[in-house]
Amino acid sequence: MKSPANTAQSAQRQHWDPDRYRSEAGFVADLGMPVVELLDPKQGERILDLGCGEGRLTAKLVAMGCDVVGVDASPDQIARAKAEGLDAHVADGEALSFEGEFDAVFSNAALHWMKQPAAVIDGVRRALKAGGRFVGEMGGHGNVQHIKSAVEAALSRRGHDPATYDPWYFPTPEAYEALLAAAGFEVSSIELIPRPTPLPGDIEGWLATFAESYLNCLDPEERLVAISEVRDELRAQLLNSEGVWVADYVRLRFHAWLRSG
Ligand code: BEZ
The correct answer on CATH 3.30.2310.20 for the domain covering 8-143+167-199+250-258 is no
Q: Average pLDDT, stretch 123-147? A: 98
**Nearest C-alpha neighbor of 222 from the set 149, 164, 160, 168:** 160
* Per-residue model confidence (pLDDT) at position 11: 40
Burial (Cβ within 10 Å: 0-12, 13-18, ≥19) of residue 97: exposed
The ranges assigned to domains in the chain are 8-143+167-199+250-258
**pLDDT band at residue 183 under the 50/70/90 scheme:** very high
Using the predicted structure, report yes or no on whether residue 52 has a pLDDT greater than 60: yes
Residue nearest atom 3 of ligand 1, based on CA coordinates:
139
- Give the separation between CA 52 and CA 154, rounded to whole angstroms: 31
DSSP 54: T
Phi-psi region of 259 (alpha: psi -120 to 50; beta: other; left: phi over 0): beta
pLDDT digits (tens, 9 = 90+) for 235-254: 999 999 999 999 999 999 99
**pLDDT band at residue 79 under the 50/70/90 scheme:** very high
Using the predicted structure, report yes or no on whether residue 5 has a pLDDT greater than 60: no
7-11, 116-120, 173-177, 243-247: least confidently modelled range: 7-11
- Taking the CA of residue 168 as reference, the ligand 1 atom at the shortest distance is 8
* CA 95–ligand 1 middle distance (angstroms): 21
* Per-residue model confidence (pLDDT) at position 2: 45
**pLDDT band at residue 30 under the 50/70/90 scheme:** confident
Backbone torsions φ then ψ of 118, nearest 5 degrees: -65, -35
Using the predicted structure, report yes or no on whether residue 23 has a pLDDT greater than 90: no
* Per-residue model confidence (pLDDT) at position 13: 67
- Give the separation between CA 70 and CA 86, rounded to whole angstroms: 8
Using the predicted structure, report yes or no on whether residue 261 has a pLDDT greater than 80: no
Whether 109 lines ligand 1, by a CB cut-off of 6 Å, is yes
* CA 210–ligand 1 middle distance (angstroms): 7
Residue by residue, DSSP assigns 96-152 as ----S-EEEEEEES-GGG-S-HHHHHHHHHHHEEEEEEEEEEEE-TTTTHHHHHHHH
Whether 249 lines ligand 1, by a CB cut-off of 6 Å, is yes
**Nearest C-alpha neighbor of 135 from the set 225, 13, 44, 49:** 49
* CA 181–ligand 1 middle distance (angstroms): 25
19-33, 39-53, 56-70, 74-88: least confidently modelled range: 19-33
pLDDT digits (tens, 9 = 90+) for 83-129: 999 999 999 999 999 999 999 999 999 999 999 999 999 999 999 99
* Per-residue model confidence (pLDDT) at position 25: 66
Whether 143 lines ligand 1, by a CB cut-off of 6 Å, is yes
Contacts of residue 149, Cβ cutoff 8 Å, sequence gap at least 6? none
Of 15-24, 179-188, 202-211, highest mean pLDDT: 179-188
Q: Average pLDDT, stretch 201-229? A: 93
* Residue to substitute in 112, 138, 170, 248 for testing ligand 1 pocket (most ligand atoms within 8 angstroms of CB): 112
**pLDDT band at residue 27 under the 50/70/90 scheme:** confident
Whether 213 lines ligand 1, by a CB cut-off of 6 Å, is no
CA dist list (Å): 28 to 31, 122, 221: 5, 26, 29
Strands 46-50 and 102-108: parallel
**pLDDT band at residue 31 under the 50/70/90 scheme:** confident
Total-model pTM: 0.92
Instruction: Write the single-letter amino acid at 188.
Output: S
Residue nearest atom 5 of ligand 1, based on CA coordinates:
210
* CA 229–ligand 1 middle distance (angstroms): 20
**Starting at the edge strand that comes first in sequence, how are the strands of the sheet with 102-108 ordered?**
88-90, 67-72, 46-50, 102-108, 128-139, 246-258, 185-198
